[in-house]
Amino acid sequence: AQSVTQLGSHVSVSEGALVLLRCNYSSSVPPYLFWYVQYPNQGLQLLLKYTSAATLVKGINGFEAEFKKSETSFHLTKPSAHMSDAAEYFCAVTGNQGGKLIFGQGTELSVKP
Amino acid sequence: AAGVIQSPRHLIKEKRETATLKCYPIPRHDTVYWYQQGPGQDPQFLISFYEKMQSDKGSIPDRFSAQQFSDYHSELNMSSLELGDSALYFCASSLRDQWGPLETQYFGPGTRLLVL
């Protein structure tokens, strides 16, 4: 069975500050991990994905995430927050055969001016 | 680039009515997934199709059915609608990688269903 836990349903940062959104996974098989972003009233947009090629994954809009097997984590970071980063962020996992995504509960990111 | 198309974008129905949601995947994508996202919740997997055959099934009520057609578009049919069916329904498409499971799901904008 697979699951994802996102720590913190709401995160608030100041513009220009570091963004850190936490995700821990549980998987009985080597996982594929994803971060998606959802802007209000919009669909899910892929930010980045981990597929075992490299543990540090760079995505769009300056985001990156590091896969740490020892910690079963896949935290999302961005060095400097921008107002346009305000959105809901979902971490998701799927097994090494692909297939359905199992999502975390989501983290709402607010960016203060 | 072409994206996943869903129609309608918004739908209002009464209890016990039926609804049909449509999904048009990215051209050449052969796999379609349906997810349901309740208010303030994470998306929950409903059902998926690969090459027009059901490939996986999640927490989809028996009142719902779906299929994938020869042109790869998919329809989610919902009957005897209940208030709790009010949600955002996403369709995602992907291309099964011939060399492994390296597929990425691309999501449509969703259909917002409101049951009154």
- Judge contact between B74 and B52, C-beta under 8 A: no
Picking from B4, B58, B90, the nearest residue to A100 by CB comes out as B58
At residue A43, the pLDDT reads 87
Closest Cα to residue A80, out of A8, A6, A15? A15
B96 close contact with A: CB closer than 8 A: yes
* Cβ neighbours of B104 in A, within 8 Å: 34, 46, 49
* Cβ neighbours of A42 in B, within 8 Å: 109-110
**Tens digits of residue pLDDT in A80-91:** 999 999 999 999
Q: pLDDT by residue for chain B (116 residues), tens digit each? A: 789 999 999 999 999 999 999 999 999 898 999 999 998 899 999 999 998 999 999 989 999 999 999 999 999 999 999 999 999 999 999 987 655 555 789 999 999 999 99
CA distance A85 to B3: 22
Number of H helices, E strands in chain A: 0, 11
Per-window interface: B 25-84 vs A, CB < 8 A: 33, 35, 41-45, 48, 55-56, 58
At residue A12, the pLDDT reads 97
Burial class of residue A69, CB neighbours in 10 A (0-12, 13-18, 19+): exposed
B104 close contact with A: CB closer than 8 A: yes
Residue A54 binned pLDDT confidence (cut-offs 50, 70, 90): confident
pLDDT greater at residue B53 or residue A53: B53
Contact A46 B96 (CB under 8 A): no
Instruction: State the CB neighbour count (10 A cutoff) for residue B16.
Output: 10
